[in-house]
Amino acid sequence: MDKGVKRCRHPAGVAAVGACLASGGAALADPLALSGPVSDAGDFSLAQLESMAASTVTVGTNSYTGVSLWSLLGGTSTGTSDVIVSSDKNAILRDYIVATGSNGAKSLISLGELDPFFGGTGQPILVAYQENGNPLSSLQLIVPQDPTGTRDIAGLRRRMA
């Protein structure tokens, strides 16, 4: 079963297109693939993810370490980005990511929630590989702004329904 996060743009009457962040299987040893309309598309090993600027967020009593989803998709701390591919008005609100877990749970995130100069002003949304300093068995999407944890996705899955 494939794992991942998919970035889509879905204006009225147009089929969804976008980038996909996916690992080939459940284990962290599998490479993570980033594809679609971003300049840094490619496969990322766990070692490569760990060599990127790590972010740590605290949610309740747990601490998660991983790569900011904004930076993994090509966004920078200055707000410039190759993530937003359209110049249409409010494109940042129409472009979104759908994350699906191995259990079928789904989470939708607009790119506006990720951009640090738009709505992404709190703790970053992460693709986490550690919890409390210990390796996770599969990559997890962590949305620290959601106090209920219902938008967090464990065992990211590539196939989108």
**Which residues pair with residue 128 across a beta bridge?**
66, 140
CA separation (Å) from 111 to 1, 41, 82, 105?
26, 17, 12, 20
Q: How many CB atoms within 10 Å of residue 81?
A: 21
Residues 43-67: pLDDT tens digits? 777 788 889 999 999 999 999 999 9
* Dist. CA 12–CA 40, nearest whole Å: 28
**DSSP string computed for 51-93:** HS-EEEEEETTEEEEEEEHHHHTT--TTS--SS----STTHHH
Mind listing the pLDDT tens digit for each residue in 87-103? Answer: 777 777 777 777 777 78
The tens digit of pLDDT for each residue in 92-133 reads 777 777 777 778 888 888 888 888 878 877 899 998 999 999
- Global pTM? 0.76
